[in-house]
Structure 1
Amino acid sequence: MDTRLAVRARAGLATMTAVTAVLYLIELVNMATFGLLTRMFGIRPRDVSSLPDVLTSPLVHDSTSWAHLLANTLPLFVFGFLAFLAGLRHFLTAVVLSWFGSGLGVWMFGSLLGRPSITVGASGVIFGLFGFLLVRGFFNRSWGQILLALVLFAVYGGVLLGILPTVGSGISWQAHLFGLAGGVAAAIVLRPRGRAAA
């Protein structure tokens, strides 16, 4: 069991390092082209031609500075690594449901309470991974996972305010809210089956 966890830890570190490198390379291109990738691959709410951008928008960040990507880097790396420790299937399920939940939520409900905008960034996926890590222990009935959730909540719990419409201008609360919902959905989908109630 320890060996398997060590293998997952190495794979998780390698995966999240590669993901981080790709995001920084994309940001470099986006800044060099003065936001071309944002305009091409960001989500424009309720624009049918922008629906495919649900697939690409988490890979692109604000082209005016590194601040957006820098703010997302550590939580994405930490949450992604911790989710990977559960296994590749759990990691991919959490990422995919968070990714699509966030993107579709933005496409349907983005800009409803503000001016039209283009949404980019990995924060929806981050919220989804966070939600997955917070609730999976309760579905799995794992005290270790519940303890980890409590530690994560103590350290990062304040970010949950980001699901509120009052979070601030330039921040997509829709991406956060629906990404979080996708992560919780992943925990439900991956819960153990056929276990008698305690």
Structure 2
Amino acid sequence: MDVERELPGLEGVDEDFLFNEPYVVPFGGGAGATVMAPGPGDKNPFARYEVGMSEVLETNVFAPFKSKMEWCIARWAKTRGPSATAFNEFLAINGVLDALQLSFKNTKELNKILDSSLPTRPKFVRHVVKVDGEEYDLWLRDAMQCIRVLFGSSDWAADILVAPEKHYVDQTKTTRVYGDMNTGEWWWRLQVCQSF
């Protein structure tokens, strides 16, 4: 007995598509492609957003560190759990700093590099809202700054939907299915208007 198909309201052949992957028709062309910079005379209001170190990254993808090895050591020191004291003791071992040729000699200097060189998250801003004579604190971040950070980070690249798609029940494309925002009519129409 198939328990999934016994849900109320999901009876008959017509609802079988709910249990299958949709047939996807991508918009095609350059939809969702990365735009590095607006071209000459480009009237597109969505110019490239920079999140910090774009010039440095063109020459060194491991910036603000000078090499992949230095980046790996810094990542290990900050994510794998050695205490600051243990990491400092490791770096203080005679010959370690010379052998590794690091641009930092202790945890304090590593933290300074991270705090001053890497892009920061948008700051929270406090607003006071009055409701029925009572004052309430409202903390928020600028939505556009948050979007710039999300779109500027490679961590989220595989999860962000940036191109419209049409989803259908099957290859006949007779019954359209709507789910995420990028499957709606608006994204498709807007992409047609913005195509250049």
User: TM-score interval w.r.t. the shorter chain?
Assistant: under 0.3
**Which structure shows the bigger proportion of residues in helix conformation?**
1
TM-score by length of 1: 0.24
TM-score by length of 2: 0.24
Structure showing greater radius of gyration is 2
